[in-house]
Amino acid sequence: LLEPVPQLPVLYTSLGFSIFAFLFTIYLVPSLGPTFINANLTGNDLLKTYSTLIPESMGLVCASVYIVTLTLFIPFAFSDALTTPVHSSATAEGITVSEFPHRQLAVYLSSLLSLLTATLLGFLDDVFDIRWRHKLPIPVIASIPLLMVYFAERGNTNVVVPLPLRSLFGTLVNLGPLYYLYMSLLSTFCTNSINILAGINGSEVSQALIIAVSVILNDLLYLPWPIGVRVPVHLLGNNTEIGFGGVWKAGMAFGSKELVERHLFSLYFMLPLVAVCAGFMYHNWYPARAFPGDTLCYMTGMAFAVVGIQAHFSKTLLLFFMPQIFNFILSCPQLFGLVPCPRHRVPRFDPATNLLHPSKAVFERPPSRLTTFILQIFSVLGLTVATPHPKTGLIHETTNLTILNFLLVRLGPMSEKRLVQVLMCVQVAGSVLAFFIRYGLAGLVYDG
């Protein structure tokens, strides 16, 4: 009954690969900058006094290094299966055959496929500036390989009902196809939500970096650490501790090995992501020498959707996206056309003081009753400042509905560098809160 644990040394290989990925990114981004400029992949830094062209879509370099790293890593991820010959053995229960782990290979390859599609979409968006309404469904298509693999491995479509609601719904509710719809929308959400929380140096890549580190910390909780470390599997309704000392305990509840494998898979995808993001951030930090473009936003967003779906922790993942969820909800009136949405919603730069102020959207026509109502609620909640027209009294302009403008409204004007630091603090605070909700509060609404 003793089964070997998944090879943790492979994790160190992944770490080694990630260090190389970091070094490659930090070296390649500046050296390929002129090539990008020659190819007309450039952008103007909107919040500076100078107008030097900055190489744009350099997320393509990150995505390439990332995908190459993950591809080269495939034989290592399956080194166990490569070194153990396929054999069959007779046991008391009959004949067992140790087979190549095709299921895990399918998970890995379908993830790579989705990442490639997301990178392609991001790059096309950089080159052709696709209208956001048109590009929304594309990540849904990119997620089909993931969903198919999820289906093939009989992925769970049940949700556990919180204790207070059990008298109404029972313990488990099977969402069936709705669960697949939810997972495909997750990929659209993860990719676009990072892209619309953008516009100041370092904002896109720092979000991705902090979310990836949070996912890694969460994964580490599920690894079979040496004696003394309690793993919170009880929260998953599994009253066992994960194996100690490198060997699975006899009689362990079914599912724990799978749990470790899933989180190892997530680590294999997140470690190199942290590496390329950290390498890129060095060049994207204020004052930026390279822009990520939509390529980086789409690639990183899809990487999160991939691990959330394939490693079955999409709800925990969404907890790490709290600032993005806030920014998305705040943005809805502009995204859905109730409030005018300028091409750029970045804060307004005052060259005299070098400070950023909230930027504004101006109404060309009087706002509808619904728009006025929503903006009044947002104003009361302190999320925006809506200015009435001096003559008509109708709302004439409002600060752009993004978390960046919200921070400037609440905290006052600040420099671009300070604003990105504040944004990063918000993201870290969000992750701390996420861990508290997941491992502190979840125990109150779910039983062990």
State the binding partner of 214 from ligand UD1, Mg ion, none, CB within 5 to 8 A by kind: none
Q: Select 129 or 350, whichever has its Cβ closest to Mg ion.
A: 129
Nearest distance from C-beta of residue 431 to ligand UD1, angstroms: 22
Residue 59 is a binding residue for ligand UD1 (CB under 6 A): no
Regarding 45 and contact with ligand UD1 (CB under 6 A), the answer is yes
> Where does 39-176 have alpha helices with state H?
59-77, 79-83, 102-128, 132-135, 138-142, 144-152, 166-169
How far apart CA 446 and CA 444 sit, in angstroms, is: 6
* 52 near ligand UD1 (CB under 6 A): no
Helices then strands, counting H and E runs in the chain, come out as 18, 11
Q: Which is nearer to ligand UD1, 234 or 417 (CB)?
A: 417
Binding piece for ligand UD1, criterion CB under 6 A, among 16-24, 93-101, 193-201, 439-447: 193-201
CB of 293 to Mg ion, least distance (A): 7
Q: Give the whole-angstrom CA distance, residue 181 versus residue 166.
A: 24
Residue pointed to by tokens 């290989």: 13
Give me the sheet containing 395-399, strands edge to edge: 360-362, 395-399, 386-388
Binds ligand UD1 by CB under 6 A, chosen from 196, 270, 277, 434:
196
Give the range of 180-188, 286-294, 303-311, 389-397 binding ligand UD1 by CB under 6 A. Answer: 286-294
CB of 278 to ligand UD1, least distance (A): 17
Q: How close are the terminal C-alpha atoms of the chain, in Å?
A: 25
- Name which of residues 342 to 371 contact ligand UD1 (CB under 6 A): 344-346
Structure tokens at 422: 């504040």
345 binds, among Mg ion, ligand UD1, none (CB under 5 to 8 A by kind): ligand UD1
> Judged by CB under 6 A, does residue 294 bind ligand UD1?
yes
> For residues 224 and 246, is the Cβ–Cβ distance under 8 A?
yes
Q: Which is nearer to ligand UD1, 47 or 356 (CB)?
A: 47
Which residues, other chains included, contact 27 with Cβ-Cβ below 8 Å and sequence gap of 6+? none
What is the CA angle 184-190-191, rounded to 5?
100
299 is a contact residue toward ligand UD1 (CB under 6 A): no
In angstroms, the CA 320 to CA 315 distance is: 9
Which among 198-206, 232-240, 351-359, 386-394 is the span making contact with ligand UD1, rule CB under 6 A? 198-206
Q: CA–CA separation, 257 vs 5, rounded Å?
A: 7
Nearer to Mg ion, 43 or 232 (CB): 43
What angle do helix axes 322-335 and 416-436 make, rounded to 10 degrees? Answer: 120
Which stretches of the chain bind Mg ion, using CB under 5 A?
A: 195, 294
CA-based max dimension of the chain: 89
151's CB contacts (< 8 A; 6+ apart) are 180
Q: Which is nearer to ligand UD1, 52 or 84 (CB)?
A: 52
Q: Choose the contact partner of 287 out of Mg ion, ligand UD1, none; CB within 5 to 8 A by kind.
A: none
SS3 content of the chain, % helix, strand, coil (to 5): 60, 10, 30
Q: Which residue stretch of 13-21, 159-167, 338-346, 422-430 sits at the interface with ligand UD1 (rule: CB under 6 A)?
A: 338-346
Residue 329 binds ligand UD1 (CB under 6 A):
no
Nearer to ligand UD1, 30 or 101 (CB): 30
Q: Would you say 243 or 323 has its CB closer to Mg ion?
A: 323
Rg of the chain over Cα atoms, rounded to whole angstroms, equals 24
Site string for ligand UD1, 25-44 (x = CB under 6 A): ------------------xx
Do residues 274 and 216 make contact, with C-beta atoms less than 8 angstroms apart? Answer: yes
Contact residues: ligand UD1, CB under 6 A: 43-47, 56, 195-196, 198-201, 288, 291, 294, 344-346
